[in-house]
Amino acid sequence: MERYRSAIQAVQSITPEPEAATILGLHLEGPYLSSNMPGAHAMQYLRRPRLDELHYFDPDFVRIMTVAPELPDVIPLIQALAARRICVGLSHSVASYDQTIAAMEAGACFGAHIFNAMGGLHHRYPGIVGALLAEPGLTVSLIADGVHIHPALLNVVVKAKGPQGVCLISDGVAAAGLGEGEYYLGEQKVTADSNTVRLANGTLAGTALTLDQAVRNMVNLAGQPAAAALQMASTSPADLLGLSHKGRLAPGCDADLILLDENLTVTLTMIKGKIVYRS
- The torsion defined by the Cα of 253, 256, 259 and 260, in degrees rounded to 10, comes to -100
Contact status, residue 110 vs residue 86, Cβ threshold 8 Å: no
C-alpha to C-alpha distance for 14 and 57, rounded to whole angstroms: 17
Verify whether residue 171 is a known catalytic residue: yes
Contact status, residue 108 vs residue 90, Cβ threshold 8 Å: yes
Helix (H/G/I), strand (E/B), else coil: 20? coil
- Please, what's the largest Cα pairwise distance for the chain? 54
Cα atoms in the Cβ-side hemisphere of radius 13 Å centred on 129: 19
C-alpha to C-alpha distance for 158 and 142, rounded to whole angstroms: 10
DSSP characters for 126-165? -HHHHHHHH-TT-EEEEE-SSSSS-HHHHHHHHHHH-GGG
**Hey, what long-range contacts does 215-218 have (CB within 8 A, 24 or more apart)?**
215/168, 215/264, 216/263, 216/264, 217/144, 217/145, 217/146, 217/151, 218/144, 218/154, 218/168
Name the catalytic one among 73, 98, 145, 171: 171
User: Which residues contact residue 262 at a Cβ distance below 8 angstroms, ignoring those fewer than 6 apart?
Assistant: none
Q: What are the residue numbers of the active site?
A: 171
